[in-house]
Amino acid sequence: MRKKLVIWLFEISKNIYTKFFKRNHIPWSVNVSELKTYPIQSFGYVLGDFLQLNNFELIPKVERHDAYHVITQYGTTVEEEIGLQFLCMGNGKKSLYMYGAIILGTAILPEYLNFYIASYKLGKQANSFHQFEYKNLLETNYEELRNMIFSIEDRATIANELHSLHQRTQTYYANI
Protein backbone atom coordinates (compact mmCIF):
# COMPACT_ATOMS: atom_id res chain seq x y z
CA MET A 1 0.00 0.00 0.00
CA ARG A 2 2.82 2.42 0.87
CA LYS A 3 4.56 1.68 -2.43
CA LYS A 4 1.33 2.38 -4.30
CA LEU A 5 1.17 5.74 -2.54
CA VAL A 6 4.71 6.58 -3.70
CA ILE A 7 3.87 5.50 -7.26
CA TRP A 8 0.77 7.69 -7.21
CA LEU A 9 2.80 10.64 -5.91
CA PHE A 10 5.41 10.11 -8.66
CA GLU A 11 2.70 10.04 -11.34
CA ILE A 12 1.04 13.23 -10.09
CA SER A 13 4.27 15.13 -9.48
CA LYS A 14 6.05 14.32 -12.76
CA ASN A 15 3.40 16.18 -14.77
CA ILE A 16 3.56 19.20 -12.49
CA TYR A 17 7.37 19.13 -12.49
CA THR A 18 7.68 19.01 -16.29
CA LYS A 19 5.04 21.71 -16.75
CA PHE A 20 6.49 24.25 -14.31
CA PHE A 21 10.17 23.38 -13.88
CA LYS A 22 11.10 22.00 -17.31
CA ARG A 23 9.18 24.37 -19.55
CA ASN A 24 12.37 25.61 -21.26
CA HIS A 25 13.73 22.11 -21.87
CA ILE A 26 13.52 20.83 -25.42
CA PRO A 27 12.25 17.25 -25.70
CA TRP A 28 14.49 14.78 -27.51
CA SER A 29 11.70 13.75 -29.92
CA VAL A 30 13.13 10.21 -30.10
CA ASN A 31 11.08 7.06 -29.65
CA VAL A 32 12.02 3.49 -28.71
CA SER A 33 12.03 2.29 -32.32
CA GLU A 34 14.52 5.00 -33.28
CA LEU A 35 16.75 4.18 -30.31
CA LYS A 36 16.78 0.52 -31.32
CA THR A 37 18.33 1.49 -34.69
CA TYR A 38 21.57 2.57 -32.99
CA PRO A 39 24.45 0.08 -32.97
CA ILE A 40 23.87 -2.72 -30.46
CA GLN A 41 26.75 -1.67 -28.19
CA SER A 42 25.72 1.99 -28.12
CA PHE A 43 24.14 3.84 -25.24
CA GLY A 44 21.18 4.70 -27.49
CA TYR A 45 20.44 1.06 -28.25
CA VAL A 46 20.76 0.03 -24.58
CA LEU A 47 18.44 2.89 -23.59
CA GLY A 48 15.93 1.72 -26.20
CA ASP A 49 16.25 -1.84 -24.89
CA PHE A 50 15.59 -0.66 -21.32
CA LEU A 51 12.51 1.26 -22.42
CA GLN A 52 11.21 -1.65 -24.51
CA LEU A 53 11.75 -4.19 -21.71
CA ASN A 54 9.80 -1.98 -19.31
CA ASN A 55 7.15 -1.05 -21.89
CA PHE A 56 8.06 2.65 -21.52
CA GLU A 57 8.54 5.60 -23.83
CA LEU A 58 10.80 8.50 -22.97
CA ILE A 59 8.99 11.15 -20.95
CA PRO A 60 9.42 14.43 -22.86
CA LYS A 61 11.73 16.94 -21.15
CA VAL A 62 12.90 14.46 -18.47
CA GLU A 63 14.53 11.86 -20.74
CA ARG A 64 17.68 12.15 -18.64
CA HIS A 65 15.97 10.21 -15.85
CA ASP A 66 15.74 7.07 -17.98
CA ALA A 67 19.37 7.62 -18.99
CA TYR A 68 20.25 7.50 -15.28
CA HIS A 69 18.50 4.13 -14.99
CA VAL A 70 20.53 2.73 -17.87
CA ILE A 71 23.87 4.15 -16.69
CA THR A 72 23.41 2.97 -13.09
CA GLN A 73 21.48 -0.21 -13.94
CA TYR A 74 18.95 0.65 -11.24
CA GLY A 75 15.55 -0.82 -12.01
CA THR A 76 12.12 0.75 -11.77
CA THR A 77 10.84 -0.59 -8.46
CA VAL A 78 9.80 2.12 -6.04
CA GLU A 79 12.78 1.50 -3.76
CA GLU A 80 15.18 1.59 -6.73
CA GLU A 81 13.63 4.85 -7.97
CA ILE A 82 14.25 6.41 -4.56
CA GLY A 83 17.73 4.86 -4.41
CA LEU A 84 18.45 6.37 -7.83
CA GLN A 85 17.55 9.80 -6.46
CA PHE A 86 19.98 9.26 -3.58
CA LEU A 87 22.69 8.17 -6.02
CA CYS A 88 22.12 11.31 -8.10
CA MET A 89 22.24 13.50 -4.99
CA GLY A 90 25.55 11.88 -4.04
CA ASN A 91 26.77 12.66 -7.55
CA GLY A 92 26.04 16.36 -7.08
CA LYS A 93 22.64 16.73 -8.70
CA LYS A 94 20.40 19.37 -7.17
CA SER A 95 16.71 19.61 -7.92
CA LEU A 96 13.56 20.30 -5.98
CA TYR A 97 11.97 17.13 -7.39
CA MET A 98 14.91 14.98 -6.29
CA TYR A 99 14.85 16.37 -2.75
CA GLY A 100 11.10 15.85 -2.53
CA ALA A 101 11.40 12.23 -3.75
CA ILE A 102 14.17 11.57 -1.23
CA ILE A 103 12.28 13.07 1.73
CA LEU A 104 8.93 11.47 0.92
CA GLY A 105 10.46 8.17 -0.16
CA THR A 106 12.50 7.85 3.01
CA ALA A 107 9.55 8.82 5.20
CA ILE A 108 7.19 6.37 3.49
CA LEU A 109 9.66 3.49 2.97
CA PRO A 110 12.27 3.82 5.75
CA GLU A 111 13.04 0.08 5.70
CA TYR A 112 15.26 0.70 2.65
CA LEU A 113 17.41 3.34 4.36
CA ASN A 114 20.58 1.22 4.18
CA PHE A 115 20.10 0.84 0.42
CA TYR A 116 19.49 4.58 0.09
CA ILE A 117 22.67 5.40 2.01
CA ALA A 118 24.69 2.92 -0.05
CA SER A 119 23.28 4.53 -3.21
CA TYR A 120 24.28 7.99 -1.99
CA LYS A 121 27.83 6.76 -1.31
CA LEU A 122 28.04 5.22 -4.80
CA GLY A 123 27.03 8.54 -6.29
CA LYS A 124 29.77 10.28 -4.29
CA GLN A 125 32.40 7.79 -5.51
CA ALA A 126 31.37 7.91 -9.17
CA ASN A 127 32.69 10.41 -11.64
CA SER A 128 30.17 13.16 -12.26
CA PHE A 129 27.44 12.08 -14.68
CA HIS A 130 24.31 13.96 -13.61
CA GLN A 131 25.01 16.91 -15.91
CA PHE A 132 25.66 15.00 -19.17
CA GLU A 133 23.68 15.86 -22.27
CA TYR A 134 22.67 12.25 -22.84
CA LYS A 135 21.02 12.90 -26.20
CA ASN A 136 24.50 13.75 -27.51
CA LEU A 137 25.83 10.42 -26.19
CA LEU A 138 23.38 8.06 -27.90
CA GLU A 139 26.06 6.79 -30.31
CA THR A 140 28.65 6.35 -27.54
CA ASN A 141 29.70 2.83 -26.60
CA TYR A 142 27.65 1.92 -23.52
CA GLU A 143 30.38 0.00 -21.67
CA GLU A 144 32.94 2.75 -22.30
CA LEU A 145 30.48 5.33 -20.98
CA ARG A 146 29.84 3.30 -17.81
CA ASN A 147 33.58 2.75 -17.37
CA MET A 148 34.12 6.52 -17.49
CA ILE A 149 31.61 6.97 -14.66
CA PHE A 150 32.02 3.94 -12.40
CA SER A 151 35.16 2.10 -11.38
CA ILE A 152 35.13 -1.70 -11.59
CA GLU A 153 34.74 -1.74 -7.80
CA ASP A 154 31.77 0.64 -7.97
CA ARG A 155 30.16 -1.51 -10.65
CA ALA A 156 30.56 -4.59 -8.45
CA THR A 157 29.11 -2.67 -5.49
CA ILE A 158 26.09 -1.62 -7.57
CA ALA A 159 25.48 -5.22 -8.62
CA ASN A 160 25.82 -6.45 -5.03
CA GLU A 161 23.58 -3.72 -3.59
CA LEU A 162 20.86 -4.38 -6.16
CA HIS A 163 21.09 -8.14 -5.62
CA SER A 164 20.89 -7.66 -1.84
CA LEU A 165 17.95 -5.27 -2.24
CA HIS A 166 16.02 -7.80 -4.33
CA GLN A 167 16.69 -10.55 -1.79
CA ARG A 168 15.54 -8.35 1.11
CA THR A 169 12.41 -7.37 -0.81
CA GLN A 170 11.54 -11.01 -1.56
CA THR A 171 12.11 -11.98 2.08
CA TYR A 172 10.02 -9.02 3.29
CA TYR A 173 7.04 -9.98 1.10
CA ALA A 174 7.37 -13.67 1.92
CA ASN A 175 6.95 -12.83 5.63
CA ILE A 176 3.86 -10.63 5.27
- Other Cβ atoms closer than 10 A to 3: 12
Say what the pTM is: 0.86
Q: What are the per-10-residue average pLDDT scores of the chain (176 residues)?
A: 77 69 80 98 98 92 93 94 97 93 95 95 96 97 96 83 76 56
Query: What's the CA angle centered on 140, arms 138 and 153, to 5 degrees?
Result: 115
Query: What's the CA angle centered on 82, arms 81 and 87, to 5 degrees?
Result: 95
Cβ-in-10-Å burial (0-12, 13-18, 19+) of 49 comes to middle
Q: How far apart (Å, rounded) are the C-alpha atoms in residues 74 and 90? A: 15
